Each structure stands twice: as structure tokens, then as C-alpha cells.
Amino acid sequence: MVDLSLSRPDFFCPPAPDETALRLGRLARLRQEMRRAEIPAVVLFDPHNVRYATGARNMLPYLLRNPARYVFVPLEGPVVLFEFEGAEHLEADNPAVDEIRPAHFVAYVARGPLLGLAAERWAAEIADLMDQHCPGERRIGIERIDTLAMHNLRGKGLELVDAGRPVELARAVKTPEEIVCSWRSIACVQDGEWKLRQAIRPGITENALWSVLYQHIIANDGDYIETRLLNSGEKTNPWYQETGTREIADGELIAHDTDVVGPHGFYADFSRTFLCGSGPATDAQKTVYRLAWDQIHHNIELIKPGRTFREITDAGWVIPEPYFKRRYYLMMHGTGLTGEYPYIVNNAVYDGETNYDGVVEPGMTLCVESFIGHEDGGEGVKLEQQVVVNDTGFELMSTFPFEEDLLGREI
């Protein structure tokens, strides 16, 4: 296992980037992809996308379920942030925002039987912005919003298209300032993971152990943890069993996926599996750990700029049959403000209809995934690495150590 008597590893953490360059660089990338998609303007509601386009941060988890804040971004002209009522002052000096207005909260929970009036007012204001800043244009990119609001916007003569394509493609390739933010977020999370690793002891509950990382993230200006994926013992297989009140026993595996929206709003997404107690690990534990280690280290070497997603899929590590049924659903995925485009799948599940192709580009940040658990049961292992693609290959971002006792001393 990791020798906890040693000092914490020195995780790379560069100085913070220029905030103005960060915000304006992302806005320029969004507009570049809007132009390619021939979308004259977008209205974004997802708080991660609002933050991407403007850098504006406010009540992010609340706004994941409440459409009470959004932004209008035209190809040319002013960016208008519709802020949660009473919070307009928060972004008064934001260089990526030209105007701030109070948002229309178009949802039944806020408007009840007056929802129709709220939807009409929302649509009228967006249509007016289109007339002012996109004269003669009828196409507008829209994210999630109440169906009545969309109906009213169509009634204004506008053609609604999905804003997802330009936003995802813009977010997929990071600006230099974003890459700095990613390094800083993952450094913070690796520090927290070290604290979590030190807190492991027989008798601690999964919840109590998981909270060590959460406290560290909040104390260091992160946002939240997206999933509750820290499981122990029999709960490690199959994957996707949420952290709970179970007490961790001596000799059990603890599988953990960070899934942290950390400092600067950037996702730090790597996975490790630990052994509780002083060991030694069993042969069964070593087998599943080594298979997961082999999978991510084979697949990570396939990442090269210019290589297609399908080429990576075709060359991927072949999952042994007894572990295929409980495999992780992706081979690798993009990451930025959250998990992002692209999704690259294992060869055995590629069907050409639900799985798409594309090209790996410098500036992408990717997470390489593995879960190994036998279909007949027993403990499972979750491992994952995060990388940034450069001009010749990739650079490893997640440098948190693996468990030597689980790998075997030959590694």
C-alpha cells in the first residue's frame, strides 16, 4: 500500500491564470463554434455553461434544478447575463458580461398558475434581444427551459436549435488559461485524496471517510462533488453503489472516484482503490487491481493528437470475459468544468449508431477509465487517470500514487 509515513507527494500546482484572459478566451471559443454551426445567438441555462461563457459563478447546485439564471450570447454584440433576482451586483465588474438584468424564473415552483405570463415575458425579452443584436436572424440556440417558454419563443417567429453542439465543442479544447485551472484543481483534489487516504481505518464509515475530501474541497474554494462514489468491501462490485453508512472492515478494498468540481470550477476526475489496514492483500484483490491497472495503462498510451476516437476504440485493451458484464461503460471521456465531450467507448460495445467518431486534439483533457469486477461477485477495483493532450501525445495530470501491495512489488 502507499507508505503513509512518507510526506505528502509534491503535486504540481501552477500560479493562478489571468482571470480576464480566462473569461474572454472561453467566450471567444464559444463564438467560434457558434459561427461554425451557423447559430447567431445562444441562450444558456446550465450553470456550468453560464460559467464557461462568462466566468460568472453563483449558486451552482441550486441552479442545476432551477432555471432562474441564464445568459444571452450573440455572435456579435453585448453578452447579457440574466442574474438571479437580487444577485445582480455579483458580476458588476465582469469583463465578459456587457449587461446584467434580473432573470425571469420560468418554472411552476416559482410562478404557479402565473407560469404562462412568465413564459411570455421571457420569450418577449429574448426575441427583442434577437431583433436588436441579430437583425434578420431567426435561428437561436437554446438549452433546457420550460416547454411553454419554448412554445412562446417559436411564436415570435424564431427557429429553436440545440445549443449543445457549439458549447460542447468549444469546451472540449481548452485555452492555455483553462489548462492552468485544470492543473490547480487536480492538485487541490490530490491533496484532499491524500488526507482521505490517511484517514482510512477499520470501523470508519464510508460517509465519514468521503467527507474528509469534501471538507478539503470546500475549504479550498471548490464547488461540490458530483457523485457519491466511495464504496467498500462487497459494495465495490458492481460499481455505482453510493457512499453510505457501512463501516469499513480491516482487509477490505475501498474504491473511490473523485468526481470533484474543484477550484476555478474545474473538474478533477481520477479514481483510486485502497486497502484498509496493514494487509497483506489477497490474491483475488491483487488480480482485479492488476487487471484495472493494465487496462488504464494500455488505453492511456493510445492517446495521440490526430488519432480518431474509433481508432482508439479499436486498439483498446480487451476486457476478459468474466469481467466484461460489469465493465465501466466508457473507455475514456473529456473533462473540463464537468465531464464533457468526447465519450470514447470500448470496442465490444461500439455500434456506429449511438457511438460517434471524432478526432483527438491538443488542448483536450481526457479521463481514462477502468472498473474490474467479476460477474460472479467478489470485490471490484476502480482506477482512472486524467491527462492533458499536447502536440505529441499527452501529459499525466493525476499523479496520485497507486497501491504497491495491490500491484505487486515488481511494479
- pLDDT number for residue 138: 96
- Edge-to-edge, what's the strand order for the sheet holding 260-261? 224-225, 260-261, 267-268
One-letter amino acid of 386: Q
Cα gap 81→44, rounded to integer Å: 10
CATH number of the domain located at residue range(s) 176-407 in this protein: 3.90.230.10
Query: Domain boundaries in the chain?
Result: 19-172, 176-407
Candidates 404, 396, 406, 409; CA nearest to 11 is 396
Rounded Cα gap, residues 9 and 6, in angstroms: 8
Calpha distance 67→106 (Å, rounded): 7
At 162, list the grid cell.
440545440
pLDDT at 411: 37
Tens digits of pLDDT across the chain (411 residues): 555 555 778 999 999 999 999 999 999 999 999 999 999 999 999 999 999 999 999 999 999 999 999 999 999 999 999 999 999 999 999 999 999 999 999 999 999 999 999 999 999 999 999 999 999 999 999 998 889 999 999 999 999 999 999 999 999 999 999 999 999 999 999 999 999 999 999 999 999 999 999 999 999 999 999 999 999 999 999 999 999 999 999 999 999 999 999 999 999 999 999 999 988 999 999 999 999 999 999 999 999 999 999 999 999 999 999 999 999 999 999 999 999 999 999 987 888 788 899 999 999 999 999 999 999 999 999 999 999 999 999 999 999 999 999 997 543
Q: What is the pLDDT of residue 410?
A: 45
Rg (CA), the chain: 23
- List Cβ neighbours of 227 (8 Å cut-off, separation of 6 or more): 242, 257, 259
Q: Are 349 and 396 in contact (CB under 8 A)?
A: no
* Beta-carbon contacts of residue 11 (< 8 Å; ≥ 6 apart): 186, 187, 190, 191, 399, 400
Of residues 259, 325, 254, 330, the one with CA closest to residue 299: 330
> Residue 255 has what pLDDT?
98
| Class of the CATH domain delimited by 19-172 | alpha beta
- CB count, 10 Å around CB of 377? 11
Q: Give the rounded distance of the alpha carbon of 218 from its chain centre.
A: 17
For the chain, counts of helices (H) and of strands (E): 13, 17
What's the predicted TM-score (pTM) here?
A: 0.95
Cell of 262: 474543484
Tell me the DSSP string of 145-163. --HHHHHHHHHTTPEEEES
| Distance between CA atoms of residues 161 and 147, nearest Å | 14
